[in-house]
Structure 1
């Protein structure tokens, strides 16, 4: 065998979709984990900036250090990210998308059928009248016809 020979594996389309969905979920969870790690590091950095390096120590909205508000705001976004990955995706995941697609396709097909019936009712096709069959008589000859007698 040469290096140009490639083994091609045929994966069932349904199996491929399952694999792609799993890869998408893994990527979502990986990003959430990275977001959490950056949140922890950022929170520690905010605390060090304020308490150790005295950065913005005079800025105290509502008599609370600024880093507390920054960490709370960031935690809110992390919470939204968590809800999106674990809660929303379970309700509106791949299965939900497929069900919605089936519903919409079914609804469209029903509309098409209704329109077809309406068109057929409002603009019926003329009934074809039975036509008489002309018999082919290859032995037919018309002595008066100029083309046949030529």
Structure 2
């Protein structure tokens, strides 16, 4: 954080981060509710003869994992630490 950064800039950045996290939790909640309903429908429809609910569960789960990685910056290749290392590397090359 630089000394010239204003409170408004920090507030705007923090608010955007909170909205991003809330979006992920909403996505997770909908995923759980909808897939519980789909699994119930699968069970009551054919009593597990064909377990088709695993296909939307897995596909949507991959999207949810991607959303989590983007939200919580768990990606080791392009996360905050990577940015700091890359900036430092570029600054050292200039000198």
TM-score (norm 1): 0.45
Matches within 5 A, 1:80-119: 80-87=66-73, 91=79
Matches within 5 A, 1:20-99: 20-52=12-44, 54=45, 60=50, 65-87=51-73, 91=79
1:14 aligned onto 2:2: no
Q: Which runs of 5+ in 1 are unaligned?
A: 1-11, 104-150
TM-score (norm 2): 0.68
Aligned pair count reads 78
Q: Report the secondary structure of 2:65's partner residue.
A: helix
Q: Deviations over 1:98-135 (max 9, x none)?
A: x97xx8xxxxxxxxxxxxxxxxxxxxxxxxxxxxxxxx
1:91 shift after superposition: 2.4
Rg (Cα) greater in structure: 1
Q: Deviations over 1:68-97 (max 9, x none)?
A: 111011111110000000115x826xxx5x
